[in-house]
Each structure stands twice: as structure tokens, then as C-alpha cells.
Structure 1
Amino acid sequence: MDKKVTSIHITKALSSSIIVDLIDEYPDLEEITCAPSVYNRTSQTYIDALKEVGINVKIKYEWGAKSKSNDIEFYIAKLYKEEGLNVKQISLKLDISSNRVYYLLRKSKTKIKRRKHKHDYSEVKQLKKDGYSAKEISEELDMPIRTVYYILNKDKIKNELPIAPITRILKNAGAQRSSKDAKIELATILTKEGNEIAKKAIDFAHADGKKTIKVEHIKLAKKLLCQ
């Protein structure tokens, strides 16, 4: 391991496992360079995550003109940005899968709009502040009560860890006694940090085109969030 290396050149698109290996091997890494084709195959999720910890991913070589195969990317981007078609409509129009449309939009660096909430979250929260009960909000907005509860609880950090393993953690660390409040506080902290790692790991799994969270996604999320 060479601790003095701050810049490396890669020939494969970045993935969770590759990033973990690179950070372990080059702890002083500041820059990753690659060919345009490799950069285009690397998920923006990884590029953004690395930038947050001070590692920039850059294109080093510009090799010739763009391939004609890029035409489909720009055509889809035009349908999306200029003609206002959504992913589903583009998928049906071109007879390709929605996943393929998303992939080509990301490849063409098109900013994908987030889906708007079906219900007005701010209106639900305002009615709650005004003293309405969940049932009253449901009736007022003609909204399923389960949706009301989901919106009201969405931003709360829930302590999902039982106290028993928290007690063991404190005991293993050398604590002879610990109050219930101390256990709850530690459980809350671990839950919050665990949620952050889980969310990041899910992003990395999606960046790899996978639904299953793998150990390398968790390792990378922990490594980047805990730097």
C-alpha cells in the first residue's frame, strides 16, 4: 500500500466493492481519473458520494468524436426535456424498458425529476399543527387515514433497537451499570446512524442496478459516512 498516492487512473466503471478497495489501498486518494466511456458508465451516485469526502472523479482523456450510438441517448433526453414525455411514455414510444430509459437519461447527464407526492404533505402537517386529529385530517382532505399517519410519522426518527442488545453493548464496553435513559439515548443514536448507512447503501445498490443490498454496499456507506 502506497500512502503517498493521491491520484489514480481506472479502466473499469466504479462499483461499491471497487471503491472500498481503492480507499483501503490508497488512504490519501484525492482524484480518480478515467476515460470518457468509463466515466459515462459510472453512476452519478458514486461520483457525488466520493466528492462529498474530497475525492474527485474526472475524465482524463478525450478520445475522438462521440459514437453514433450516443444518438439514442440524446433523442431520449430531448423527448424527456423538450417534449415533456415521462419515462413510461418514452418506454412505450420506443418499445424499450423503463430501466433502459432511466439508464440512458443518466448516461446523457439528464436531470431526472423526482416524482411529486400524490398528496400535499405540507397541508397535512399544517392541519396537525392547527390541532386536527389524524381522523379529522383524513376526512378534511379525503385521504386514507393510513396515508395521514405515514406523512405525520415520516420525518420522525424511530428507536427500532430493543434495549437488551444495547445493555450488552454497554456491558461489553465495561459499564457496570447504565440507566434506562442512557440505553435509550444510545439506541437512538445507533438507530439514526444505522438508518443513514442503510439509505446510502440502498443508493449504491441502485447505482449497481441491484435490488439486493450486499455487504460491499454497507461497507462503502459506512466508510464514506464515517470518514
Structure 2
Amino acid sequence: MVARVLVVEDEEAIREPLTAALRAAGHEVRACADGVGFEDVVDSFRPDLALLDVHLPGGRDGFELARALGGRSDCAVLMLTARDSVADRITGFETGADDYVVKPFATVEVLARVAAVLRRLGRVPSTVQVADLVVDEGAQIAARAGRTLDLTGTEFRLLAYLTGHRGRILSKTQLLTQVWGYDEYDPNLVEVHVSALRRKLEEHGPRLIHTARGLGYVVRP
């Protein structure tokens, strides 16, 4: 499920949290503040997806970088911009953008769009299997022992994130950030949803979501 993601964003207040969130989601990330040496970075890092800010210092904007990228890589492009006019969106798509996110944005929205673009283009698998549990993010379906689980939207996102990082211990803060989109909230929110998810999963088999005491949760057979 790991993808190489290149972030080109000049605002540190946006670049750093976004980079941290992408890494927490399991991706390998390279971050730049401008387009200087862009082609060299692309050739050495070989990204699966590039997040390009439209307005950049140094004389090269995100549209120009997208055009340059199209000539040397088949990586996906997600544009980041404060401009949301139809003309700007069309320009973005004409330069090869696969999606467009308008600032200000919630980090969780960008993560969801990154995942969606990667799945749509076949860069990461949409289906994950752990023992007899199958989670298909593309179809938004989870099944265990051949039986479809009746999950709420939040429960499905939580299960998809946990299974996508199977074998890794994930803290409540990580789960709050990646599933709900914020990191300062009552951690009991995670506990309540994990408990509900466990009940539904364990109707059809043994426990898959385990508690790592004092650390968080981990999915494993």
C-alpha cells in the first residue's frame, strides 16, 4: 500500500503537517519548497504521485511543473491551490492533473484524495485481506468469512486504515488524525468505534483488532 509521494509546497505551515500526515499514512515522502531542481528530484525519487502547489517562488509555478512532469514520468498529479475558478481548474487538468484540492483544506481530505487517485490509477491495490477479512476500499465493502459487514462510514474508514497498516501498532492520535481529521479530541471516540467494530467482526470469527496496552491498536490474525 506504500506509495512514493512528492510534495512541492512553499508554505511551511502547510508542507510540514501534510508531509507528516502522508508519512503517518505509510507513504514514502519527499518534500520541496519550490521547483528548483525539480527534474532531478523526479528522476531520483521516482514518485507515484506529486502534490504540486500552483503558486511557487522561483519563477516556476505548479502548472509548469506538471507539464515538465508529464514529459518524464507517468506519476499522478494532485494540484494544491487557493484559486478555485473554473478556468484555473481546467488549466490544471489540461496540464495533466488527476485531481484538484482548493485551499484551505483539511489534511484528511487530501489523504483521502491521494488514496483515491492512487487506487483509481492502479498504483496501490484497493483490496486488502487479513485472514478471512476482506476490505475493498474501491467498492467500499468489507466482508468476513464470506459475509458482508454492515458498517457505518466511520467504521469502514477506521477498518480500512487499520487493515491497510496491518501488523503496525497505531496510536489513538494517529487514528484520530487519519480517520477523523484532527488530533486533539477525546480519545474515547476511538475506543467507542473500535469496540463497535470489534463486535461486528467477532460475530464471524476470532479477534483481529488487538490492543497494544498504552500504545494503541494493531490488526493481525
Q: Give the TM bin, normalised by the shorter chain.
A: under 0.3
User: TM-score w.r.t. structure 1 length?
Assistant: 0.22
Greater fraction helix: 1
Greater RCO structure (CA 8 Å; 6+ sep): 1
Greater fraction strand: 2
User: TM-score w.r.t. structure 2 length?
Assistant: 0.22
Larger Rg belongs to: 1
